[in-house]
């Protein structure tokens, strides 16, 4: 592949965290008095920005809470997981080593809270290796809009057509592909139900990052 730069997603791509978010969404709603939260609620909010997901919870479940409280409380519920427990996906260090050997720059574009993203990357010892970590703080429209990917490519100094976006989620792959990026889908158990659609959209699809490591 003629790749000059790579934009990595974080959750479900570099770190094994997607099930943590599913459990947290359910725990938060039960804490708020929602007796039987629908099982698809995490599928709905994973496409949203932090602000939009908070408003979704408030409006759908009639929560008498402020948006700021919802954002802060969910961050509090998942913070210890990011700071102490969530592991890297297999082969992440080896992949970054390979990119460094080839002189290919890379960064992170994620919808996760910035403090959480930075905390898990620092704990795992790879934060300093990335050119940048972009989040909703810089790009509040989230990943249904290509701005975060375009901003990442600009920071890498690479042309869109020579920049690889590595994602596990269908809607993110769709956005990046429509914007003209080379797209690599990677398997994650939480997005397994969308695998067939991701494979149709993406230029490449891998079971693990080891396959990408070999291909570069």
Tens of pLDDT, residue by residue over 130-147, are: 999 999 899 989 899 999
Q: What are phi and psi of 188, to 5 degrees?
A: -145, 140
Q: What is the pTM of this model?
A: 0.88
Tens of pLDDT, residue by residue over 92-117, are: 999 999 999 999 999 999 998 899 99
Beta-carbon contacts of residue 122 (< 8 Å; ≥ 6 apart): none
Which superfamily is assigned to 5-17+87-215 in CATH?
A: HAD superfamily/HAD-like (3.40.50.1000)
């Amino acid at each position: 592949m003629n790749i000059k730069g790579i934009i990595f997603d974080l959750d479900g791509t570099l770190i094994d965290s997607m099930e943590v978010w599913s459990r947290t969404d359910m725990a938060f709603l039960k804490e708020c008095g929602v007796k039987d939260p629908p099982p698809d609620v995490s599928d709905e909010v994973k496409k949203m920005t932090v602000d939009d997901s908070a408003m979704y919870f408030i409006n759908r479940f009639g929560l008498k809470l402020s948006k700021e409280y919802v954002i802060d409380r969910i961050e509090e519920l998942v913070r210890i997981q990011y700071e102490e427990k969530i592991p890297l996906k297999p082969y992440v260090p080896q992949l970054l080593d390979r990119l460094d050997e080839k002189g290919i720059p890379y960064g992170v574009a994620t919808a996760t809270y910035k403090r959480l993203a930075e905390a898990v990357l620092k704990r795992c010892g790879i934060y300093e290796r990335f050119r940048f970590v972009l989040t909703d703080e810089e790009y509040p429209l989230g990943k249904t809009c290509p701005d975060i990917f375009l901003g990442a490519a600009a920071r890498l100094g690479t042309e869109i057509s020579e920049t690889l976006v590595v994602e596990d989620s269908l809607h993110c792959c769709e956005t990046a592909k429509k914007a003209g990026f080379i797209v690599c889908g990677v398997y994650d158990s939480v997005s397994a139900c969308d695998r067939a659609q991701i494979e149709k959209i993406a230029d490449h699809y891998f079971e693990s990052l080891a396959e990408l490591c070999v291909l570069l």
